Amino acid sequence: MHDVTPDNGQWNGHWHGPPPWHRQAGPQDDVPGWVHHTRRWRNRGDGEPLRRDPDDRLAGGIAAGLAAWRGFNPTTVRIVLAVAALISQGWAVPFYVLGWLLIPVKGEQTSIASKAKHDAGGVALALALASLLAVFLFLAGALNDSAIEQYGWAQVFTVAGLTLIWRNAPDDERAGMRRLVQPLESLTGSGKATRRATRLRFVGAAVLLAVGLGVLLSLHGGIYLLKPLGGFLLVAAALVLLLGPWWLRIARDLVIERQARARAEERADIAAHMHDSVLQTLALVQRRAEDPQAVVQLARAQERELRSWLFEGRAPGEADASSFAEGVRQIQRDVEARHGVPVEIVTVGDCPLDEHVAALLAATREATVNAAKWSGAAVISVFAEVEADKVSVAVRDRGKGFDPATVPGDRKGVAESIRGRMSRHGGEATVQSAPGEGTKVTLTMPRTARPEPTGRASSSAADGTRR
Amino acid sequence: MSQATARPGGPPRVVLVDDHGLFRSGVRAELGTRVEVIGEAEDVAPAVEMIRRLLPDVVLLDVHLPGGGGHAVITEVKQEHPEIKFLALSASDAPEDVIAVIRAGARGYVTKTISTDDLADAIRRVADGDAVFSHRLAGFVLDAFASAPSPDDVKPSFDPELDQLTTREREVLRLIAQGYTYKEIARDLFISGKTVESHVSSVLRKLQLSSRHQLTRWAAERRLT
């Protein structure tokens, strides 16, 4: 921190606005003379220490904090600060950042700086970034571009300060900073509109390059430019040679640190999941130990959930079916939960949901629920296959079955509703059953023609022979 | 192999390879006298050593092992002792694991939730040289062979027969996937039990020998979605 802390003399020389901070929130007797001096013209003397305002902020909330402290209009303070930044050749900016570091947020006692002091990695990173910018400015200055140099040097401190703030600010402030740089992020390709951003980036780079070359050539007159340029390149190489390994090490440390954080987050995530699901289920299992059926059901539901989380990356409770296969899995979950009968599913292929496939799913659900309610089978098997030209489902149980000719009215009704649902959407349903032999419901829905290069037609014959 | 000729007649001699001691003792207790468990191992290297020494009829092999996975055991042993059969056993159902052990040479794959009767039956079947497909594996295979291979997906030097399932094989797999027993399948399709077996063995061979890159890619994709 010492590298960006100016002494008071320097500070007075460059600052034209009201003093932005006093360091301690402590007793008023300790405050420097200039604070007493300024009290004469403040019109809200409630004695509150200066605090950054987290609610009304553009960057650090300093302008709003100052305004509240002195009873000004925040907009006026912001304009004053902006003008100050211009006429001080950018030197007001690092002071703003310094204030951001040193002044605590309203309602807090500690500043970001007090945290940053202990962040050795952050300090190293701040130094590295600042030195990178300094090297760049040195080269730019050597190439005689005075404007960059004039406004740039102050920003060496800004960069260092912002780095420390970024690494040590509380989460809500970081979120605010992220919002500020979001427009930039989309330019670097990590945002969503990457294509357009890339084009924009190229155009920007081309314009800068053209202007830069133009300036260089006009200043030095053609080929003579190359002579000093060679010298500066050597200096640059020397600096890179000198500082490069250090920069690299800091960058690498940063990457390692980020990986460690990602790992820690992952571990926390797994722990949370284990607690929500597995531990809860184990507790339930212990409590219901005398009811084997319930225990089996619990274990099964938990197993399936864990499996889908581990191997399909689906979080527990994430239900909304977006595809056919997911819809079948949902039927499995629902029927098992509601009727307590295990459902074995095998799905082959997948397709997005349209109204026909949704109708097929609804019919599948009815057939499965039906089997769970009536068959008395220990397990129901659902086989679902998506092919290029059709989607088919077979719901099968080894339960008591029935004679299709003499079915009781209610079951016939269900069978009819399955059949009706399917035929309305151009599909068909067959029900095979015999007393003591279980029941098999076969549902087939043709797929609406859509171009699919990997289609095959060989299996239509197969279904014909089976029926 | 002189030591491995305790069959026919007697129960198959089995080595259990699984890194969970509890699971091993559970399986051993449940299988009882239906098979003869002659050894247990919990890691790749000791398993390979034990199998070479004991020469069992069947190795019941967990897909996930700490020292390199079940397929490593198969690859180590298979070359010297092609007569030893492997039955893969897994709790994961992750397609790429299953495909890996099958392609390494396992004669079948069952999930750990299988009933004891079915497991004993599967071991006996594998010992007799048949293939054992759980309903889930059948689903995987149907999925993996679902689309026609694109020309650039298959090395032309290979037998194109290997890259396609026949209609009949597909029918058999569909019924397995629905939980039918081989006997039921035979009755349903009006073929003999032996024919069902030969279809399944043929599918297993295709699964092991097919040059479709799609198989691996398919398995990898399934993990991601």
CA of B133 vs chain A CAs: smallest distance (Å): 13
CA of A394 vs chain B CAs: smallest distance (Å): 7
- Helix B213-224 with B95-104: angle, nearest 10 deg: 150
CA of A348 vs chain B CAs: smallest distance (Å): 5
Which residues in A lie closer than 8 A to residue B110 (C-beta atoms)? none
- Nearest neighbour of A454 by CB, restricted to B94, B148, B189: B148
Which residues in B lie closer than 8 A to residue A462 (C-beta atoms)? 167-168, 170-171, 174
Chain A touched by B191 (CB under 8 Å): no
Sign of the torsion formed by the C-alpha atoms of B151, B153, B159 and B164: negative
Instruction: List, for residues B29-57, the tens digit of each pLDDT value.
Output: 888 888 888 999 888 888 999 999 999 99
Does the pLDDT at position A163 exceed 80?
yes
Does the pLDDT at position A315 exceed 80?
no
Which residues in B lie closer than 8 A to residue A454 (C-beta atoms)? 146-148, 150
d(C-alpha A308, C-alpha B15), whole Å: 31
Chain A touched by B93 (CB under 8 Å): yes
Instruction: List, for residues B86-123, the tens digit of each pLDDT value.
Output: 999 887 666 777 778 888 889 988 887 788 888 898 99
Are B174 and A349 a contacting pair at CB < 8 A? no
Which residues in A lie closer than 8 A to residue B138 (C-beta atoms)? 346
Does the pLDDT at position A450 exceed 70?
no
What's the pLDDT score for residue A28? 43
Instruction: List, for residues A427-438, the tens digit of each pLDDT value.
Output: 888 888 888 888
What's the pLDDT score for residue B86? 92
Are B171 and A465 a contacting pair at CB < 8 A? yes
Bridge partners of A386, per DSSP, are: A391
Q: Scanning every residue of chain B, which has its alpha carbon at the shortest distance from the alpha carbon of A383?
A: B178
Phi, psi of B200 (to 5 degrees): -65, -45
More confident residue, A38 or A110: A110
Mean pLDDT value of segment A35-44: 46
Phi, psi of B141 (to 5 degrees): -65, -45
Starting at the edge strand found earlier in the chain, the sheet holding B132-133 runs B36-41, B13-17, B58-62, B85-90, B108-111, B132-133
Q: What residues in chain A have their Cβ under 8 A from chain B's Cβ atoms?
A: 303, 307, 310-313, 344, 346-349, 379, 381, 383, 385, 387-388, 394, 396, 440, 453-456, 458-459, 461-462, 465-466
- Nearest neighbour of B174 by CB, restricted to A383, A440, A454: A383
Is-contact A381 A371, C-beta < 8 A? no
Chain A touched by B150 (CB under 8 Å): yes
Chain A touched by B136 (CB under 8 Å): yes
Q: Which residues of A359-377 are buried (b: 16+ CB within 10 A; e: fewer)?
A: bbbbbbbbbbbbbbebbeb
Angle among Cα A456, B152, A325 to the nearest 5 degrees reads 45
d(C-alpha B86, C-alpha B59), whole Å: 5
Closest CA to A443 of A380, A356, A373, A329: A356
Dump strand ranges (E) for A114-169.
none
Chain A touched by B221 (CB under 8 Å): no
CA of A311 vs chain B CAs: smallest distance (Å): 6
Are B139 and A466 a contacting pair at CB < 8 A? no
CA of A379 vs chain B CAs: smallest distance (Å): 10
Are A394 and B178 a contacting pair at CB < 8 A? yes
Cα torsion at A426, A456, A365, B118 (round to 10°)? 150
Are A465 and B179 a contacting pair at CB < 8 A? no
- Nearest neighbour of B170 by CB, restricted to A347, A394, A462: A462
Whole-angstrom distance between the N-terminal and C-terminal Cα of chain A? Answer: 82
Angle among Cα A189, A191, A194 to the nearest 5 degrees reads 50
Are A456 and B93 a contacting pair at CB < 8 A? no
* pLDDT classification of A123: cutoffs 50, 70, 90: confident
What's the pLDDT score for residue A442? 92
Is-contact B93 B137, C-beta < 8 A? no
Mean pLDDT value of segment A177-203: 66
Angle among Cα A133, A139, A142 to the nearest 5 degrees reads 140
Residue A443 CB coordination number (10 Å): 26
What's the pLDDT score for residue A320? 56
Mean pLDDT value of segment A11-31: 43
Are B179 and A379 a contacting pair at CB < 8 A? yes
Answer whether the bond into residue B8 is a cis peptide, omega within 30°.
Answer: yes
**A253-267, A275-289, B73-87: least confidently modelled range:** A275-289
Sign of the torsion formed by the C-alpha atoms of A124, A130, A131 and A132: positive
Mean pLDDT value of segment A404-420: 67
**Mean pLDDT score of chain A:** 74
Does the pLDDT at position B153 exceed 80?
no
Phi, psi of B165 (to 5 degrees): -90, 145
Which residues in A lie closer than 8 A to residue B135 (C-beta atoms)? 344, 346, 381, 383
- Nearest neighbour of A307 by CB, restricted to B93, B138, B139: B93
- Nearest neighbour of A344 by CB, restricted to B150, B174, B179: B179
CA of A416 vs chain B CAs: smallest distance (Å): 23
Sign of the torsion formed by the C-alpha atoms of A310, A311, A315 and A318: negative
Closest CA to A2 of A112, A127, A108, A115: A127
CA of A335 vs chain B CAs: smallest distance (Å): 18
* pLDDT classification of B4: cutoffs 50, 70, 90: very low
Closest CA to B188 of A405, A396, A265, A368: A396
Mean pLDDT value of segment B188-214: 83
What sections of A50-119 are H helices per DSSP?
Answer: 62-70, 74-87, 92-102, 112-116
Which residues in A lie closer than 8 A to residue B148 (C-beta atoms)? 454-456
Are A461 and B167 a contacting pair at CB < 8 A? yes
Chain A touched by B224 (CB under 8 Å): yes
